[in-house]
Structure 1
Amino acid sequence: MNKFDIDNLKYLFEPKSIAVIGASRDPKAWGHVILKNLIDYGFEGRIYPVNPKTESLLGLKCYPDIRAISEDVDLAIIVVPAKMVPIVMEACVEKGVKVAVIITAGFSETGPEGEKLEKKVLEIARKGGIRIVGPNCMGFFVAKSKLNAAFTAIAPKPGKIAFISQSGAFAGTMMYWATMKDIGFSAAISVGNQADLELSDYLMYLADDETTRVTIAYIEGVKDGRKFMKVLEYYTSKKPLIVMKLGRTSSGARAATSHTAAVAGRDELYDVVFKKYGVIRVYEFDDMFNIALAFANLPLPKGDRVGVISAGGGWCVEASDALESLGLKLPSLPEHVVKEMDKILPPFWNRRNPMDLVATVDPEPFKTAVELLMRDENFDILMLLGYGNFGRISNLPFLIPKEDAIAKEIADLVKKYKKPLVVVNVFGKEFSNVKVFEENGIPVYLSIQKAAKVVKALADYAHYLNSLEEMEQT
């Protein structure tokens, strides 16, 4: 099969009909949960439960065999014991199924016998041109198709972030966590053992998917390094990719191999490849989502020069250390900015970047400072620290509506000047201005250190794209 033969992936991401083979009455069984999730999330295509022991499930007619379905079936979700999967796959080939998602475990991740079984299933599928997701996976989610075929009952809202995971448990947990944090996904895929379709194939599809703006991936290893690099070259020229690659230690690599039959490889080689192709590597899941939110919502910067506006001096010091330790630049304030701020701030303000607005209670100077730096070509990215806290912490409730209104106006400046802004507020969603920022596409972080990593990622990816443009011109 051609390395980039991904035409059938449209039947995974946009199927018109789905058969759940192994659908069950038992509410704890995978075959029940996935069928129920498909129905509850509102999949608008045809759903066919397949179970020879019952006539109906969850209000749908049940079929004894996939071949008993008179209409075409684009996608089969297989939830039967491992030893039955070859027989089921033969039936799927006869039916003309395009893609099969094998939820069942007990294949190559278990040892030689499981590996033989996996190869047998793959051989059968290839004879019929069926592409396989899994086996040993937790399903998938596609927002544009209103399709939740994952084990998690609560699906995330539609968004611009795609999520690919080699760990089913990690995928399920992160989907639930994202829902709790009100983070939207365009798609989420648990890839399992990658007997056929692998990380590279999904990335090739997502590179041209209009609903996806950034992809995050949890990986333990890749099976075809050359194919992976070729796909990275294509994908990252179009969209940012954030990877959490584990299995860095010898123990971690062994755990990865036994977990999903992954080929972990030398970790330093992954580092080299990631740097070459502009992939952003993270080591904690919250960094992965923090960075993804920025890429999903903000314009890209032109460079790595950061302007910082703060409600207090201590945060200026912390921001300086955090940003400069990551290699980011803090340009001096231009004279025209100092002159304008002199008109509205006390004479003892610091007149440098980071800007200390000396605990001014009025939110207006924050907006003025943001717009001055937005307009100035010496700054590529802005960071706003401690905005909008005085109304709550100083018990000045009359200030809160104004803080919220100015937050909306600051968010509008990002759209006007097409320059990214990240906000740090240790109180999070407890404060209403944080909700205003987030509802208007401005990500808010709980710490300066976390926000600095986000700024670094934005700058690094922008630098990578700039280097590609320079190469094209030479």
Structure 2
Amino acid sequence: MIGQSHSLPTSSLLAPRSVAFVGVSAKGGAGTKMLNSLLRSGFGGKIWPVNANAAEIAGVPCVPNLDVLPATPDCIVISIPAEGVLPVVEEAASIGIRAALIVSEGFADDGTAEGKARQERLVAIAKASGMAVAGPNCMGIASLGHGFATTMADIPEKLGAGGISLVSQSGGLLNAVAELSANRGIGMNYLISIGNQAVLDLADYIDFLADDPKTSVIACIMEGAKDGRRFRAAVDRASRIKPLVILKLGKSAAGQAATFAHTGTLAGKHEAYEALFCANGVASVMSLDELVETAALLATAPLPKGDRVCLLTVSGGATSLISDLAERAGVNFGRIDDETSRRVGEALGVSRHFGNPLDTVGMPRLCRDGAIEGVVGALLDNAEIDVIGLVLGMRMEGAENHDKLVGRMADMARTAGKPLLVLSFISNSLTGHWRGYASAQGLPLVEDVELGLRAIRHLTDYATFRSSVPITESPPKIASTVGKTSTRGVLSEADSKEILGKAGLPVTREYLAATIAEAKMLAEKIGGPVALKVQSRDIPHKSDVGGVHLGATAEDAEIMSAKILKSARTACPDAAIDGILVQEMVDEGAEFIIGMTYDEQFGPLVVVGGGGVMVEVFKDASVGLAPLTRHQAMEMVARLKVAVQLDGFRGAPPLDRDALIDCLVAFSNFVAATDGQFEAIDLNPVFVRSRGKGVKIADALIITRGPWEEYNEQTESHYAFS
């Protein structure tokens, strides 16, 4: 939390009892606009405009300077040219003002050395004085719930107070969300523009809002986190208290640098954020409309006990459309059993079996006395249905049939024990007549089929998260066992597996041969067919250069070792070769990949997916942040297309899913304990064998964190292969 991690008086900024303004003038401008916003907000505290040349501004008496204030304000709002800001902040700190909101531009936002230095000085002043600072370069803060607003944002007069708080890195998008919410009658609490985040950052505001009793949903519009580790901690904590809805800007792959290992191509910055969001039940949305619809639903609907949805329709065409779009949105439809179907038919006066979505055979039947109550009652008694929605073509001006049906749904929602909602498949229909209906009647309304279905999916995802939040286990203390690697750069498979084996991971039995004659001897020692692999840090992907032979016998191990050695030397004449790795063959099970790539903001990202040489082609992978709980590892595996193999595919025996999950958790604990030592790790393939037989890591590649030049300088220490 802000107050805990930074010991900053955030409440002085976000819920002040008195405010001073520097930069206000009778001529208008940013400062005067912010003063007027505070006056309009119904603020009941003390207000002091600071202006030596005016007796009053906007009807409020002025003071000539800060040192003659009749009392020390909680917060100072500064909107003067950048070069004058720091002296004002220093003076404010000297008289005990605990918080500052800086509108002024000209700090790190201008990209100049002067601006960056100015911001660094601001941070130093705030740190020395313990001052909470918002901005600079921000539009301000408003809280309709607390009756406080010092903002340049265009807050619509019709926007009412509610439980949604928005934190935004974009002032323009903050304005848009306020307008969208006002049009729908969706109430908001805080609207916070965070600007440069010089002192307080996104994580601080999330921490504050997690504990704010008037905030039921935290919404964010973000470009990126200033401190990934603190942002992760804030999201981890807040999501266990209330739902978060986040619109992450800049999701495209442009500008994301590819790393050397396979897993580097599967996990970039976007994947890191999505992994964080997925692990915490965060609703990751794609648009402002989806943000508003999702936040509104989460703010008004009770959490369901599961993710099984039933949607009632009044049109066969709507039923087909919803079925198609629900599959795309990932909505899980519950099963309509025979007894439920019988009761639904009885309520509608129809003898047939009903599916899901549930076509009620038209408005006339559903509008009959007791019909919708009978249908919904049957679904409420069905233990395989968790959420019930009614889909209508709502009209902005209302319609008699719709009004009555929605009213009857609202009556049932008060005692249902399961979330009931209404989804309008007409976009922009929930204004006018329906504006504010959800908050007034306690019945969630969502609009637009696609947006509404995604909002429903976000609701059920968060409910699933909250019902399965596990106790986070501390990773085992394996860092001291592994130790810090002395070599930097690409490690050979043999060196990589030595590290992994010491960490307790299930690597194959193998030996490194210094000569082709020794390769034959080691093959005899292992017994049975073996794999032969050229070992060199200069050849990370051995099969690409003919450096691998599988299924060699002891009799032909010497010949095949010479063959793959020749192929590798031909393809990579400058490679320093360590030897031939002689390895037990693993020829049973499905191939998976487990890996890690290092993210500068969040640390180790763990990847699991379909393995083998085609990993980069299909890119069937799930990403998580280390360390993983067992539940998170299970969810990551379940999201894979190749996971179907684990349960037995086309007559094949089921595979050891539990062992794969155990390996994934252990690997995540390993990379968490060695955080910062490795740039990337590939375990590919990891053979998942028949149930009860475990898994085996057949190949591995570790890239330690360090420049390539340092690695190249150490090649002379490798003995030549003879």
TM-score, normalised by the number of residues in structure 2: 0.59
Give the CA deviation at 1:350.
5.3
CA 1:387–1:334 in 2, change beyond 3 Å: closer, same or farther? farther
Inter-partner Cα distance in structure 1 for 2:232 and 2:462: 17
Q: Is the 8 A contact 2:164 2:219 kept in 1?
A: yes
Give the CA deviation at 1:270.
1.2
- The one-letter code matched in structure 2 to 1:53 is N
- The one-letter code matched in structure 1 to 2:357 is P
Among 344, 348, 360, the residue aligned to 1:345: 348
Q: Which consecutive unaligned segments of at least 5 residues does structure 2 have?
A: 257-267, 474-628, 631-722
Local SS of the residue matching 1:18:
strand
What residue is the counterpart of 1:222 in the other structure?
225
Give the CA deviation at 1:13.
2.2
Inter-partner Cα distance in structure 2 for 1:267 and 1:424: 31
CA 1:202–1:359 in 2, change beyond 3 Å: closer, same or farther? same
Q: Is the 8 A contact 1:160 1:213 kept in 2?
A: yes
Inter-partner Cα distance in structure 2 for 1:469 and 1:272: 17
What residue is the counterpart of 1:420 in the other structure?
419
Give the CA deviation at 1:174.
2.3
Inter-partner Cα distance in structure 2 for 1:71 and 1:434: 43
Inter-partner Cα distance in structure 1 for 2:435 and 2:127: 51
Inter-partner Cα distance in structure 1 for 2:235 and 2:431: 39
What residue is the counterpart of 1:154 in the other structure?
155
Inter-partner Cα distance in structure 1 for 2:183 and 2:447: 16
**Sequence identity of aligned pairs in percent?**
29
Inter-partner Cα distance in structure 1 for 2:325 and 2:26: 54
What residue is the counterpart of 1:284 in the other structure?
287
Local SS of the residue matching 2:101:
strand
Q: Is the 8 A contact 1:151 1:172 kept in 2?
A: no
What residue is the counterpart of 2:5 in the other structure?
4
Give the CA deviation at 1:437.
5.1
Give the CA deviation at 1:169.
1.9
What residue is the counterpart of 2:67 in the other structure?
67
Structure with greater helix share of residues: 1
What residue is the counterpart of 2:367 in the other structure?
363
Inter-partner Cα distance in structure 2 for 1:177 and 1:451: 15
Does 1:461 pair with 2:465?
Answer: no
CA 1:8–1:405 in 2, change beyond 3 Å: closer, same or farther? same
Please list, as runs of the form range in 1=range in 2, the aligned pairs for 1:160-179 lying within 5 A after superposition.
160-179=163-182
Give the CA deviation at 1:250.
6.3
Inter-partner Cα distance in structure 2 for 1:15 and 1:277: 31
Which shows bigger deviation, 403-412 or 142-151? Answer: 403-412
Q: Is the 8 A contact 1:37 1:153 kept in 2?
A: no
What residue is the counterpart of 2:391 in the other structure?
385
Among 234, 246, 250, the residue aligned to 1:247: 250
Give the CA deviation at 1:436.
4.8
Local SS of the residue matching 1:416:
coil
- The one-letter code matched in structure 2 to 1:342 is G
What residue is the counterpart of 1:190 in the other structure?
193
Q: Is the 8 A contact 2:344 2:375 kept in 1?
A: yes
Q: Is the 8 A contact 2:300 2:438 kept in 1?
A: no
Among 306, 311, 333, the residue aligned to 1:308: 311
Which shows bigger deviation, 187-196 or 364-373? Answer: 364-373
Give the CA deviation at 1:180.
3.0
CA 1:430–1:114 in 2, change beyond 3 Å: closer, same or farther? closer
Please list, as runs of the form range in 1=range in 2, the aligned pairs for 1:326-337 lying within 5 A after superposition.
326-337=329-340
Q: Could you report, residue by residue, the CA deviation over 1:236-257 in whole angstroms, capped at 9, with x for unpaired residues?
A: 011111111112236689xxxx
- The one-letter code matched in structure 1 to 2:131 is I
Q: Is the 8 A contact 1:404 1:432 kept in 2?
A: no
Local SS of the residue matching 1:456:
helix
Q: Could you report, residue by residue, the CA deviation over 1:269-299 in whole angstroms, capped at 9, with x for unpaired residues?
A: 2112222222221110110110000110010
Paired residues, number? 455
- The one-letter code matched in structure 1 to 2:66 is I
Q: Is the 8 A contact 1:162 1:188 kept in 2?
A: yes
Does 1:89 pair with 2:95?
Answer: no
- The one-letter code matched in structure 2 to 1:90 is E
Give the CA deviation at 1:430.
6.9
Local SS of the residue matching 1:294:
helix
Which shows bigger deviation, 142-151 or 455-464? Answer: 142-151
Does 1:21 pair with 2:22?
Answer: yes
Q: Could you report, residue by residue, the CA deviation over 1:159-189 in whole angstroms, capped at 9, with x for unpaired residues?
A: 0001000112222332233223322111110
CA 1:228–1:388 in 2, change beyond 3 Å: closer, same or farther? closer
Give the CA deviation at 1:369.
1.5
Inter-partner Cα distance in structure 2 for 1:250 and 1:352: 41
TM-score, normalised by the number of residues in structure 1: 0.89
Which shows bigger deviation, 366-375 or 38-47? Answer: 366-375
What residue is the counterpart of 1:145 in the other structure?
146
Give the CA deviation at 1:4.
1.7
Q: Is the 8 A contact 2:7 2:130 kept in 1?
A: no
Give the CA deviation at 1:144.
3.1
Give the CA deviation at 1:222.
1.0
Inter-partner Cα distance in structure 2 for 1:119 and 1:60: 34
- The one-letter code matched in structure 1 to 2:149 is N
Local SS of the residue matching 2:9:
helix
What residue is the counterpart of 2:108 in the other structure?
108
Which shows bigger deviation, 436-445 or 184-193? Answer: 436-445
Q: Could you report, residue by residue, the CA deviation over 1:11-63 in whole angstroms, capped at 9, with x for unpaired residues?
A: 12221100111112223x11111101111111000011112221210111111
RMSD: 2.7
Q: Is the 8 A contact 1:43 1:147 kept in 2?
A: yes
Local SS of the residue matching 1:10:
helix
Give the CA deviation at 1:409.
2.8
What residue is the counterpart of 1:40 in the other structure?
40
CA 1:464–1:162 in 2, change beyond 3 Å: closer, same or farther? same
Q: Is the 8 A contact 2:183 2:435 kept in 1?
A: no
Inter-partner Cα distance in structure 1 for 2:385 and 2:131: 51
CA 1:341–1:239 in 2, change beyond 3 Å: closer, same or farther? same
Give the CA deviation at 1:406.
4.1
Local SS of the residue matching 1:343:
helix
What residue is the counterpart of 1:410 in the other structure?
409
Inter-partner Cα distance in structure 1 for 2:63 and 2:255: 44
Give the CA deviation at 1:349.
5.5
Does 1:54 pair with 2:54?
Answer: yes
Which shows bigger deviation, 417-426 or 46-55? Answer: 417-426
Give the CA deviation at 1:146.
0.7
Inter-partner Cα distance in structure 1 for 2:437 and 2:216: 22
Q: Which consecutive unaligned segments of at least 5 residues does structure 1 have?
A: 254-264
What residue is the counterpart of 2:98 in the other structure?
98
Local SS of the residue matching 1:452:
helix
Among 292, 296, 299, the residue aligned to 1:293: 296
Give the CA deviation at 1:334.
2.3
Q: Is the 8 A contact 2:154 2:175 kept in 1?
A: no
- The one-letter code matched in structure 2 to 1:414 is A
Q: Is the 8 A contact 2:394 2:430 kept in 1?
A: no
